[in-house]
A and B are shown apart, each in its own frame.
Chain A
Amino acid sequence: MLHIVVCIKQVPDTTQVRIDPETNTLVREGIPAIINPFDMPAIEAAMQLKERYGAMVSLLCMGPPQASEALQKALSYGADRAVLLSDRALIGSDTLATSKALSCGVEALGREQPVDLVICGKQTIDGDTAQVGPGIATRLGYAQLTYVGKIEEVDLEKRRIRVRRVLEGAEEVLDAPLPALLTVLKELGEPKYASLPAVIKGLRTSIPVWGAKEIAVNTDEVGLAGSPTQVRRIFAPPQREPGEVISADGEADKIANMILDRIIEAGIVEG
């Protein structure tokens, strides 16, 4: 039976975050915290493998105490267990420090039962870096398989996995040894709620919280201390010069020709 670890993150729903035009500051009040949307296919991939091959699925999340809500939600899709990595020492972590903490978390989970597969989402919608998955793979020495659109097969005997990667204008199939780390695309699908008992179990389970001590990580390598990059400055995005806004007033042909006049004037096409 496989032991699959799915890494998830609780993020603010950035599609709802906006700048207050008067104060030029971020309005983050009332923005719901959600499971990173790109992590949902990762959960679904694990559940499909569980159904196909038999697996124990462990969810791992690094975040503040309230991130346990995300884990409870994710448990209701049928995962077997969840662990929250949360510790003051982890605050201020950039991607290097985050991959350090998460890889120590995976190792701690592996001490209980050896890990065969780690599955991550492609990227987060708040950090957008896509760096943590490769970071964990590199630290653990797992085969790194990114942009996976389909898991073709897992061979439990030979301990190999075959995946299809989606690239720009091309696709490839790679065959890799286990243990491996995958970052997956939306093509893997969305998880469906498991049985009602699983939903209830998810809501009732109290999520264990592991700190720096439990995952045996050196605090110099996480948090701000373990982060080579730091945000030095924040500013509002540059604004374009406001242009002209005209009402069509139902005169489609007139407006259309006016638009074309402007496009020709700008030298983009020749009339």
Chain B
Amino acid sequence: MPEQQPGASSIAVISRDACIGCEQCVAVCPTGAITMEDGTAVVNAELCDGCGQCVAACPASAIEMSGGEQAEAAPAEKEAQPAAAAEPAAAAKAGPAPEVWVFVEHTDGQPATVSWELLGKGKELAQALGGKVCSVLLGHEVSPLVKEAFCYGADKVYTIDDPVLGHYRTQPYLHGTIKLVEKYHPEIMLLGATTMGRDLAGAVATSLQTGLTADCTGLSIDPQSKLLEQTRPAYGGNIMATILCEKRRPQMATVRPRVMPMPERDESRTGEVIEEPLGLSEEDIAVKLVEYAREDPSHVVRIEDADILVSGGRGMGGPEGFELLQELAEAIGGTMSGSRAAVDQGWIPHERQVGQTGKTVRPKLYLACGISGAVQHLVGMQTSDVIIAINRDPNAPIFGVATLGIVGDVRDILPALTRACRARLKKEHASEAAAGEGE
């Protein structure tokens, strides 16, 4: 705890520019000296007693104490934080090896690949903690998936196999997950940020009264505190935030598909299986499934799986522009996608939307055509290996992330590129990949 400085010789000073309006300083100030004005924190000098707690609470380093003495006290306070945070972590390590749990999502016997991506990341986190990575597998007749979990790196699989779990519903999956967590106490739990993962994660975290961070793009273990550092974009992707869950357990996070790399699959791996009963019957479940229909797989568009995305934005001008994109997609062996603007205009369906409110993709090649590159779009594609942008506006922000940027008219360049692909690319490649779009 910081010592109170005698008198009010030092007061908190908040930089208006650096303040992000998160209000953590307001919440932490013992004298109520900080209030929000127009979304920015403001200090009432008369009420400030110079304790400096706001400085430590600010994630944007927007607060300083005026006066030399207090300025030195503030860094010391910051150093004190990791030590204090280390205590709960030490307590956690006193018991058996800490476990990182990864929820295995599956439908109709097919696992969602995000489950394995997270298993790979989970293994890294478990190693940093000196512990184990475990899969959590709920369902009915799911033993083939138990084996898959070992192949993708799980040390243990916790499983509940029951007909009531045959099709995902919140109540029984919540019940089963809580049961496992309360018995086996994982340190960390990861889920895919899919409709199923998001439906379940919020319910689990609330039941357990623990912290949950959504859509993380980065996960790591702080070497000192051993806490899970959860990094995610905030303010529509304009800034990155690192979030901690210091006291409650498990530390929970969701991660979108395709953010973490897929781990190697090793047929020879095996591990420990722990089975638990569900303890619920169908009569206990109030919500009933009336109807379930998968879209025809040959019609399902999975832009997340494409190696090459040919993507269009407002600059494509209209549906005819998207016909050009489709021709190029076929010629180059890619899949068509687009920005939110294109979806809002009705030029492409929502399943093909890339961005903050659409999908996150990381193809080998992302061709951005007539896309300006608003932050909300970049957040969905900026980890693509190669980005090529074509736009008439030389100042379009997309050129800031493009490996190669062409200032020009898509209506001329796209047909030319289609011709070039048809003339020069190996025929098998183009037609195989085009067929692959239907998978």
Contact = CB atoms under 8 A, between A and B. Distances in A.
Partners in one complex: yes
Interface of A: 12, 14-15, 17-20, 23, 25-26, 28, 31, 64, 88, 91-92, 94-96, 99, 125-126, 128-135, 137-139, 143-147, 162, 165-177, 223-225, 227-240, 242-250, 252-253, 255-257, 259-260, 262-264, 266, 268-271
Contact of B401 (A26, A94, A232, A240): A240
A28 B239 CA distance: 12
A106 B17 CA distance: 37
Nearest to A135: B206
B199 A134 contact: yes
A96 B205 contact: yes
A259 B389 CA distance: 10
Given A143-B287, A177-B286, A232-B242, A259 B199 contact: no
Nearest to B290: A173
7 contacts: A18-B238, A138-B202, A165-B195, A169-B297, A229-B230, A233-B59, A259-B388
B342 to A, nearest CB: 15
Given A245-B399, A246-B406, A169 B300 contact: yes
B419 interface: yes
Contacts of A229: 211-213, 230, 243-245
Contact of B404 (A173, A223, A246): A246
B205 A170 contact: no
A184 to B, nearest CB: 13
Contact of B288 (A26, A31, A175): A175
Given A125-B236, A146-B195, A269-B333, A99 B420 contact: no
Contact of A168 (B195, B235, B394, B407): B195
B26 A138 contact: no
Given A19-B238, A243-B403, A247-B408, A232 B212 contact: no
B295 A91 contact: no
Given A232-B244, A243-B403, A138 B388 contact: no
A270 B23 CA distance: 54
Contacts of B169: 174
B360 to A, nearest CB: 12
B417 A20 contact: no
The 4 closest A-B pairs by CB, nearest first: A248-B408, A92-B27, A134-B202, A14-B236
Contacts of B385: 266, 268
A170 B292 contact: yes
Interface in B388-403: 388, 394, 399-403
B412 interface: yes
Contact of A224 (B28, B387, B415, B429): B28
B337 interface: no
Contacts of A145: 287
B32 interface: yes
A224 to B, nearest CB: 4
A253 B295 CA distance: 39
A92 B28 contact: yes
B239 A88 contact: no
B243 A232 contact: yes
B237 interface: yes
* From B297, B374, B413, B415, residue with most partner A Cβ within 10 Å: B413
